[in-house]
Copies of this chain bind each other. A is one copy, B any other.
Amino acid sequence: MLHNSTKNRVVGVNIGVAFTSYAIVDVRGNIIAQEEFPTREHPSINEFVAYLSERLVMIMEANGGYETIRSVGVGVPSGNFINGTIEHAISLPWKGEIPLASMLRDRLGMAVAVGNNAHVRALGEHAFGSAHGMSDFIVITLGPGVGSCLFSNGKPHLGTEGFAGHVGHVCVKPGGRQCGCGARGCLEAYCAEKGIVETARKLMESSEKPSLMRNMDQLDPKLITDCCEQGDELAIQTYQVTGEILGVIMANYASIFNPQAIIFTGGISKAGHWLFEPARESFEENVFHNLRGKVMFLTSALTDLERSVLGASALAWEVQEYSLFK
Q: Which residues of A contact B (CB under 8 A)?
A: 87-88, 134-137, 148, 150, 152-153, 155, 157-167, 169-171, 174, 181-183, 248, 251-253, 255-260, 285-286, 288-291, 294
Contact = CB atoms under 8 A, between A and B. Distances in A.
A55 to B, nearest CB: 31
Contact of A285 (B135, B183, B258, B285): B183
Contacts of A255: 166-167, 169-170
Given A152-B157, A256-B164, A256-B165, A171 B251 contact: yes
A174 to B, nearest CB: 6
A164 to B, nearest CB: 4
Contact of A256 (B134, B148, B294): B148
A215 to B, nearest CB: 33
Contact of A258 (B164, B289, B290): B164
Q: Which 6 A-B pairs have the closest CB atoms?
A: A159-B258, A152-B152, A164-B258, A160-B260, A170-B252, A163-B258
A155 B153 contact: yes
Q: Which of A182, A258, A291 has the most CB of B within 10 A?
A: A258
A117 to B, nearest CB: 16
22 contacts: A88-B290, A135-B160, A136-B160, A136-B164, A148-B256, A152-B153, A152-B157, A153-B155, A157-B157, A157-B257, A158-B258, A162-B258, A163-B258, A164-B257, A166-B288, A167-B256, A170-B252, A171-B248, A171-B251, A171-B252, A174-B286, A183-B289
A306 to B, nearest CB: 25
Contacts of A158: 258
A162 B148 CA distance: 21
A125 to B, nearest CB: 16
Contact of A171 (B152, B165, B286): B286
A153 B153 CA distance: 9
Contact of A288 (B163, B252, B289): B163
Given A170-B255, A183-B286, A136 B159 contact: yes
A157 B251 CA distance: 17
B159 A259 contact: yes
A33 to B, nearest CB: 34
A171 B134 CA distance: 27
A265 to B, nearest CB: 17
A289 B182 contact: yes
A234 to B, nearest CB: 22
Contacts of A160: 134-137, 258-260
